[in-house]
Structures are given as C-alpha cells and as structure tokens.
Amino acid sequence: MFREVARKAKTDRTYLRRVIDQLDAGDVLLVTRLDRLARSTRDLLNTLAAIADRKAGFRSLGEAWADTTTPHGWLMLTVLGGLVEFERELIRARTGEGRERAKRRGIRFGRKPKLTPQQRSGLLRRLAEGKETRAELARRYNVHPSTISRLAVLEGH
C-alpha cells in the first residue's frame, strides 16, 4: 500500500511515477477519487496509459465508472479520451481561425521589433557608408551584433 499527500496542483508527481513503475501485470492501482490521481483530463489519460503499459488496472472508489478492470470501465475511459481529443482539436481550430482574423486586421505577432523603421534606415545608411563596423553599430543601437548581420542580409548589404 502506498499513500501520497499532494497539496499542489502539479502534474510532476515523482512518488506517483515510482508507484506506477512498481506495478506488475495484473496489479490494480486503487485511488479514493479521480481528482486525487490527476489534475486534468489530459493528465488522467496520460497516467492511465502509463498504468496500462504496465499491464495493470486502475479503479477509483469515488467514481465507479472509472475502472479499467472491467469492459464497461474501459469503454467509459475510452469515450472520455475521445472527448478530450475532440476538444483539443476544436481549440486548435478556433485558435487558428482567431489568428487568421487578427492577421487580416493587421495585428502583428511575436515580440516587438528592437529597431524602429527610422532606426533601421539610419543603421542601414551608416552600414552602407562603411565608416562603422557591425559591432560598433550594434553598440550604438543597443542590439546584438547578430541583429545587425541579419538586417544586413535581409536588406542586401
């Protein structure tokens, strides 16, 4: 018998991993409630997959349907897994659609450029004059030298 007292909502649970690693074929991991085993549906499914990989079973005292030792329990958990996958695909699709709408409205993604358009043109002009090295320009504009090199390549200098 093992007992873990987890007080934080974290999925990195070393003790649980050790318990699962000790499971043998035919063993059953019994928990009082599902929320004691996993912090999210994805975490639950990953944990159940790890238990199944050991050819062991799983049962929850608080949720009679969560029992991989019976065909009915496996069916319920498989349906749950399918719903999670479906939800993840819906979120991915909605996120992609929202990103496309934002792009059409002119919203830029990523971090803010280090140099303003005026700074870029001034930097390129100085670079073309050849009076300052890329390292000197990087110090002057407070950017990494690779930023100067990348800009020079993009602009053909």
In angstroms, rounded to a whole number, what is the distance separating the alpha carbons of residues 42 and 26?
Answer: 24
- Give the residue from 87, 6, 39, 125 showing the smallest Cα distance to 137: 125
Pair 80, 45: CB distance under 8 Å: yes
The predicted model gives 4-29 an average pLDDT of 78
**Would you tell me how many other CB atoms lie within 10 Å of the CB of residue 41?**
15
The CATH architecture that domain 14-104 belongs to is: 3-Layer(aba) Sandwich (3.40)
> Hey, where are the domains in the chain?
14-104, 117-155
Q: What's the pLDDT tens digit per position in 67-115?
A: 999 999 889 888 887 887 888 899 999 999 999 999 999 998 998 989 9
Entry pTM: 0.51
Q: Is residue 114 helix, strand or coil? A: coil
